[in-house]
Structure 1
């Protein structure tokens, strides 16, 4: 007979319904227990499990649309400049509006806000499908509607990130963040594959309709569960524009929070442009045509490595020091990316791409978990907005700057700069508190 673990005390911000659902799990699953911080432990929470599955299915639709939209833009115009405008319309709002989205996440009921922006993105995806149905769609209209969908994502992303830690106990947060990162990367592999097939058979418009339908999964999941409300605003807390800027103040006051965000921003800007230009890298370095099956396998290897790297934090690396994993991951990324940039034979490029992806998302998932563990719920949405900006908003800017450099020199130069930057970030990414410092809520409250 297996000995049952003693009940764990809830953390202060844990909602009452989690305790009820944990009791339900105990009845359903008997004396099964899971190691704290693992992916299995996170999936044992019914609320997290429901929201996670809905989010995964919705993300697959989003990546169907994201990838096909770029290909559709290129087929329409043959212009890389127009494709760049479409890409900025998709991701630029993450840089421009995430701070406002994070502020909303801290004052509005997060469930209601997530449902509202999901409906907004669903409706405008249908508008995008309607625009794309003709033989000569409005180019400016496509950019505008894509931008509006991106604005919705700029509100959704920090709100969802702020909600995630409240669905599990703090000790199980690494598993939850690991699964969320794996979901993001799995959708990047599955979504484009489905989208490309649908695009080839019935056209872009039906891909966009399919994406609209997938929003119903996250909307339905959110409607099925009870979620913790936003923490009430304390007396004297800033309002208006000062509230939006509070996340920046937290990053300035708390050294670990600031170092997590700075590391992610520098990593995204200098190290990740190769992802934007991976087609050029495959063609110039390995002789792999971007529209070939070989390129699909190369990108799948990179994506699979990212999925394994994300899951590693909640599985075989669970319980290890995340601060140490961040620095080892950066070092491994620097070495593997350097090798990836110098290779000229396609055969070893596939396993090296997998290693690059693994180091990439083991590092990012560890950074995100350290950050989430550090935050007080009163400021979580605003600080996670900065994370979304650092993680997603700076990549397209780095990619735009890298384009002319690649045209003037070579894609290898950009890749090697990224590898060198990752190596320099190893000593910078020191996520420990200064000696003698004990973190308090005063680090995050003015």
Structure 2
């Protein structure tokens, strides 16, 4: 039987089992989110405090996404995910226990929600980065959308189930079921047989890995544009998440069952949106898709703000959900497609930093606005802000063209000389920076072509690990140029080649035609003369050999 296009990634068994476990985990998450939001309307029924529940859920993602991404890239992802789930189930168990014993307070609820958010913050980058390991490249966008479908499928039924559980046994029953759902995630990750990849290089240090991730994003325009687009959508879209529980209870005068039903309508919209995304993607560009989704979500918020009955409010949340899933799936796919495996979790964590930072700030802001002008008017204001931001950021393109992997490119540049024998054993342990230089001879007629290439090379060197880069023109011989860049360590220098994409190699191959035939790239190790004297080691027999390059060009 042929699978519908939206479900094609499920043909992969490993992805299917992990996706199923994630759906069970998301269902539990909705039980916890719905129970926490509703319980807070009893413990402290103030707009700002109720909005703090959403902020406490998302703020850890804002604070810990980047460290979590770095850990997910430098630690085995399977072991790492088992650790994050152990933390989460501990916090969930404590939340359920305190609620069962009637010891829960507003402060404890926020603290434990924050602790659960920490687990989510550390899990999300690794979970997102593992998707390209599980499905072929042509299925990646729909695999991300399928995650959105699963998330919204649980959103459609989770709040309704949570409402029923709250009616039957209170919020404690919903929290207990959430803790049990994490067991399914732990079981699926435990049986995942992940293929290990060995590079032959030492493992990256934690802080160095974070810096490398930041440099990659800073030098990748497609990821930066995706961050701007996702933040512009998330900021206004945080209003329903922050204020819907109090709006349903106070303004509509309804109970937890109807709250779950209304929130479930948003999930139905999300599932529908994810199923329709493959057809939409064939007709609209990524940018146009995101703009259409933004209009739907803003229209939904406006309908909610203008309504005083649960039926139009449910319709508004359905429209909001239609936009939510496809907007985030489309933007995240645009970011993920340009991220190589070595930095994918870090890049996604920085992307999620923008997304969840906007959701956190929005939750605080809309909570304050709701207390000042009323909840209904706040939804209308959020809709207007969403449309304005959509127009402002539409010039940040997420249409980056990613070519299919091609056969290895020709060697982009001559190989540098081997390290001097007396330095070779020390290079991996020495923390000094490595300065690299390449020489070029450029015909005046080719100057503009050379400089255009250098603009691209600047970003390539930064993505590969350069902390400094500059190109210099010889003032005495204008046809001669030298490119200089610096990396943090010898190990980072060795990683440069493996960090180059096929497109990067194509650019460096085009640049290689300008390089001297008679010169080799040179590399210099940074040495602190004072520290070198304090180290009780005899100096090298020939000082010029400190230069891992042509004799006579040594530098301290």
Class of the TM-score when normalised by the shorter of the 2 chains: 0.7 to 0.9
**Change beyond 3 A, Cα 1:143–1:229:** farther
Contact 1:334 1:423 in 2 (8 A): no
Q: Does 1:252 align with 2:218?
A: yes
Within 5 Å, give how 1:235-384 maps onto structure 2: 239-278=205-244, 288-291=252-255, 296-313=260-277, 315-317=278-280, 319=282, 322-330=285-293, 332-333=295-296, 336-337=299-300, 340=303, 343-344=306-307, 350-384=314-348
Counterparts of 1:275 and 1:138 in 2: how far apart (Å)? 21
Contact between 1:327 and 1:429, CA under 8 Å: does it hold in 2?
no
Number of equivalences: 409
Q: CA–CA distance in 2 between the matches of 1:100 and 1:167?
A: 24
Displacement of 1:240? 3.1
Task: Measure the CA separation in 2 of the matches of 1:343 and 1:138.
Answer: 34
Distance 1:273 1:248, change over 3 A: farther
Shift in CA distance, 348/216, structure 1 to aligned 2, threshold 3 Å: closer
More moved, 124-133 vs 292-301: 292-301
- Larger RCO: 1 or 2 (CA < 8 Å, sep 6+): 1
Q: Could you tell which deviates more after superposition, 430-439 or 106-115?
A: 430-439
Flag structure 1 segments of 5+ consecutive residues without an equivalent. 1-31
What is the CA–CA distance in structure 2 between the aligned matches of 1:120 and 1:141, rounded to whole Å?
A: 17
Instruction: Write the distance in 2 (CA, Å) between the matches of 1:401 and 1:212.
Output: 31
Distance in 2 separating the partners of 1:197 and 1:58: 19
SS where residue 233 of structure 2 aligns?
Answer: helix
Range that drifts further, 129-138 or 114-123: 129-138
Q: Which residue of 2 aligns with 1:11?
A: none
Structure 2 segments unaligned to the other structure (5+ residues): 403-451, 466-556
Q: 1:253 touches 1:443 (CA, 8 Å); kept in 2? A: yes
Conserved 8 A contact 1:117-1:152: yes
Computing the radius of gyration over CA atoms, which structure comes out larger, 1 or 2?
2
Distance 1:190 1:444, change over 3 A: farther
**How far apart in 1 are the matches of 2:256 and 2:99?**
25
Displacement of 1:321 in angstroms is 5.8
For residue 241 of structure 1, report the CA deviation from its aligned partner.
Answer: 2.3
Partner of 2:30: 63
Residue number among 372, 381, 403 corresponding to 1:408 in the alignment: 372
1:352 deviation in Å? 4.8
Q: Are positions 1:125 and 2:92 aligned together?
A: yes
2:437 equivalent to 1:418: no
Alpha-carbon distance in structure 2 between the residues aligned to 1:242 and 1:276:
36
Corresponding residue number in structure 2 for 1:88: 55
Give the superposed CA RMSD. 3.3
Distance 2:344 2:43 in 1: 42
Report the CA distance shift for 1:113/1:310 in structure 2 as closer, same or farther (over 3 A): same
User: Does the Cα contact within 8 Å between 1:256 and 1:433 map onto a contact in 2?
Assistant: no
Q: Cα distance, 1:255 vs. partner?
A: 0.8
Q: Which range is displaced more, 129-138 or 197-206?
A: 129-138
Map of 1:20 onto structure 2: none
- 1:67-116 CA-to-partner distances (Å, cap 9, x unmatched) read 10122233234455543444333221111111111001001111111112
8 A contact 1:231–1:377 mirrored in 2: no
Indicate whether 1:387 and 2:351 are aligned: yes
Q: CA separation in 1, counterparts of 2:256 and 2:21?
A: 32
Contact 1:263/1:425 (<8 A) preserved: yes
Name whichever structure is richer in strand by fraction.
2
TM-score (norm. length: structure 2): 0.66
Task: Give per-residue Cα distances to partners, 1:372-416, cap 9 Å, x unaligned.
Answer: 111100000101112222333421321211222233343222321
Q: 1:248 to 1:290 in 2, by over 3 A?
A: farther
SS at match of 1:444: helix
3-state DSSP of counterpart to 1:120: helix
- Structure 1 segment 158-197 matched on structure 2, within 5 A: 158-197=125-164
- Structure 1 residues 241 and 443, CA gap change in structure 2 (3 angstroms): closer
CA contact (8 A) 2:156 2:266 kept: no
CA distance in 2, matches of 1:149, 1:358: 27
- Shift of residue 66, structure 1, vs aligned partner: 1.5
Q: Which SS does the other structure have where 1:316 is aligned?
A: helix
How far does residue 43 in structure 1 lie from its aligned partner after superposition? 0.5
- Tell me by how many angstroms 1:60 deviates: 0.4
Measured in 1, the distance between the counterparts of 2:135 and 2:398 equals 27
Distance 1:348 1:77, change over 3 A: closer
- Cα distance between partner residues in 2 of 1:420 and 1:282: 27
2:342 partner SS: coil
1:398 paired residue number: 362
The two structures have a TM-score, normalised by structure 1, of 0.80
